[in-house]
Structure 1
Amino acid sequence: DEKKVYKLVLTGGPCGGKTTGQARLCTFFENLGWKVFRVPETATVLLSGGIKFSDLTNDEAYKFQENLLRTMIQMENTFFELGKSCTRNCLIICDRGAMDASAFVSKEKWDRMMRGNNWNSVELRDTRYNHIVHMVSAANGAEAFYSTEDHACRSEGVDLARELDYKSAAAWVGHPYFDVIDNSTDFESKMNRMIESVCQKLGIDTGDRLLTTSKKVKFLVSELPPNSAFPAFQDFDVVHHYLQSAGAKVQARLRKRGQNGHFSYIHTIRRPHLHGQSIEVKTQLTHRDYLNMLTQRDDAHFTIYKKRRCFLVNNQYFQMDIYKEPGHPRCKGLILLETYTSLSGDKLKSILPKFLNIVKEVTGHPDYSMFNLSLKEDWSNTKKFCYSLHDQDEGEFRANGHSHKMINGKA
Structure 2
Amino acid sequence: MMSADNDRGKERVVYRLALTGGPCSGKTTGQARLCTFFENIGWKVYRVPETATTLFSGGVRFPDLSKEAADKFQENLIKVMIATETTFFDLAQSDKRNVLVVCDRGIMDAAAYMAKDVFDSVLKSNGWNAVELRDNRYNQVIHLMTSANGAEAYYNIEDNPCRTEGIEQARQLDKATIEAWVGHPYIDVIDNSTDFDTKLTRMIANVCKRIGIDAGDRLAPTSRKFKFLVASMPPDSMFPSFQDFEVVHDYLTSPNPKIQSRLRKRGQNGNWSYQYTVRRGDAGDQMVELRRQISHRDYVNILAQRDDSHLTVYKTRRCFVWEDTYFQLDIYRNPCNERCEGLILLETYQTLKNNDTTAKVPPFLKIIKEVTKDSSYSMYNLSSKSEWKKSSKIINGLNS
- CA positional deviation for 1:148: 1.2
* Residue equivalent to 1:388: none
Q: 1:136 to 1:11 in 2, by over 3 A?
A: same
* Residue equivalent to 2:109: 100
* Residue equivalent to 1:19: 28
Q: Aligned partners of 1:61, 1:14: CA distance in 2, in Å?
A: 19
* Residue equivalent to 2:390: none
Q: 1:146 to 1:56 in 2, by over 3 A?
A: closer
Task: Tell me the amino acid that sits aligned with residue 61 of structure 1.
Answer: A
* Residue equivalent to 2:118: 109
Instruction: Please tell me whether residue 42 in structure 1 is matched to residue 41 in structure 2.
Output: no
Aligned 1:214-229 pairs, distance under 5 A? none
* Residue equivalent to 1:154: 163
Q: Aligned partners of 1:61, 1:16: CA distance in 2, in Å?
A: 24
Task: Tell me the amino acid that sits aligned with residue 78 of structure 2.
Answer: L
Q: Aligned partners of 1:146, 1:55: CA distance in 2, in Å?
A: 23
Residues 79-120 of structure 1: CA deviation (Å, up to 9, x unaligned):
001111111000000000000000000011001100110001
Say whether the 8 Å CA contact 2:206–2:221 is kept in structure 1. Answer: no
Q: Aligned partners of 2:126, 2:199: CA distance in 1, in Å?
A: 38
* Residue equivalent to 2:88: 79
Q: Aligned partners of 2:122, 2:93: CA distance in 1, in Å?
A: 29
Give identity over the alignment, percent: 61
- Structure 1 moving runs of 4+ over 4 Å: none
Q: 1:188 to 1:54 in 2, by over 3 A?
A: closer
Q: Aligned partners of 1:20, 1:158: CA distance in 2, in Å?
A: 20
Say whether the 8 Å CA contact 1:136–1:182 is kept in structure 2. Answer: yes
Task: Tell me the amino acid that sits aligned with residue 132 of structure 1.
Answer: V
Say whether the 8 Å CA contact 1:9–1:95 is kept in structure 2. Answer: yes
Aligned 1:99-248 pairs, distance under 5 A? 99-211=108-220
Task: Tell me the amino acid that sits aligned with residue 96 of structure 1.
Answer: R
- CA positional deviation for 1:61: 2.0
Q: Aligned partners of 2:193, 2:152: CA distance in 1, in Å?
A: 12
- CA positional deviation for 1:52: 2.0
Q: Which runs of 5+ in 1 are unaligned?
A: 214-314, 316-411
Say whether the 8 Å CA contact 2:19–2:103 is kept in structure 1. Answer: yes
Say whether the 8 Å CA contact 2:48–2:102 is kept in structure 1. Answer: yes
Q: 1:167 to 1:206 in 2, by over 3 A?
A: same
Aligned partner (choices 12, 28, 39) of residue 30 of structure 1: 39
Say whether the 8 Å CA contact 2:25–2:144 is kept in structure 1. Answer: yes
Say whether the 8 Å CA contact 2:19–2:141 is kept in structure 1. Answer: yes
Q: 1:14 to 1:58 in 2, by over 3 A?
A: closer
Say whether the 8 Å CA contact 2:205–2:221 is kept in structure 1. Answer: no
Q: Secondary structure at the match of 2:218?
A: coil
| TM-score, with structure 1 as normaliser | 0.51
Q: Secondary structure at the match of 1:171?
A: helix
Residues 344-379 of structure 1: CA deviation (Å, up to 9, x unaligned):
xxxxxxxxxxxxxxxxxxxxxxxxxxxxxxxxxxxx
Q: Which runs of 5+ in 2 are unaligned?
A: 1-9, 223-285, 287-400
- CA positional deviation for 1:14: 1.0
Task: Tell me the amino acid that sits aligned with residue 166 of structure 2.
Answer: G
* Residue equivalent to 1:61: 70
- CA positional deviation for 1:64: 1.2
- CA positional deviation for 1:212: 7.3
Equivalent residue pairs, number = 214
Q: 1:92 to 1:167 in 2, by over 3 A?
A: same
Residues 156-203 of structure 1: CA deviation (Å, up to 9, x unaligned):
111111111111111111111101000111111101000000000111
Q: What is the root-mean-square deviation in Å for CA atoms of aligned residues? A: 1.5
Say whether the 8 Å CA contact 1:189–1:212 is kept in structure 2. Answer: no
Q: Aligned partners of 1:34, 1:176: CA distance in 2, in Å?
A: 24
